Amino acid sequence: MKIQERTGAGQGRSAAPAQPSVGDRLPTPPRERKPALAALAVLLILVGALGATMLVLQAGDRIEVVKVTKEIPVGGKVTDSDVTSVMVAEDSDINYVKWAQLGTLKTLKAVTTIPTGTVVMGQMFGDEAGASDGKTLVGLSLKAGQFPAGIKVGDTVAAYHVTDGGSSSNSSASTSGNSNSVLTDKATVTSVPSADSDDIVGSANSAYTLAVDSDVAPALAQAAANSQVVLVLVPSSNSSN
């Protein structure tokens, strides 16, 4: 009898709501994958690595070349005092003069004026001096008295037209006559008689070559042909003006 009462009392109780088990969680939406962004990130990493590798390779592939530390005029030669060595990245498209070739370079002449700070290229020098842009080479056959003693390649001279010759001293030449005029006040000496006298013209004249402005070249050549030219050495302080 007691058992029935207990059973009835249990039936009158409200049933507690069932709790979900731990493993029954709500489903989460799948993450959206972006393959294009991932590929771009990989590409950027590869490009960065390649760039760093190229920089390292270029930094290690360097050569020692010649650099001018003092301006070299047309027809001038390099000496130990006006060049230095610098390191540059090797480039097969650029004709650098390597420092090991300095000895050979000293035997050549500048074919044009080479400014201070220029890294030397092979085409800047040759066996014979050339004329720079706007310049013409004029050959002169001069006798004693028409040029100053001791002038050398690279010197700046003035050329005077004279009607009755001229005279020279150890350091300069002077003009005489009644119809003297300046043909050019700034000509560069590109060639002088060699020590073995190979450039001697005849028995009395000496061969000189000047680089002058093209517009004065005809008058200078005509005056030289008539032996009516006298050269005067221009001090370096004046030639730079």
- Residue 195: the pLDDT is 58
Mean pLDDT over the full length of the chain: 74
- Residue 184: the pLDDT is 92
What are the CA-CA distances from residue 173 to residues 150, 156, 211, 232, 233 (Å)?
Answer: 11, 13, 19, 5, 7
The more confident residue out of 237 and 149 is 149
Give the whole-angstrom CA distance, residue 95 versus residue 166: 46
Provide the CATH topology of domain 62-126: Type Iii Antifreeze Protein Isoform Hplc 12 (3.90.1210)
pTM for this model (two decimals): 0.47
Question: Once rounded to an integer, what is the mean pLDDT over residues 182-190?
Answer: 88
Give the whole-angstrom CA distance, residue 198 versus residue 151: 17
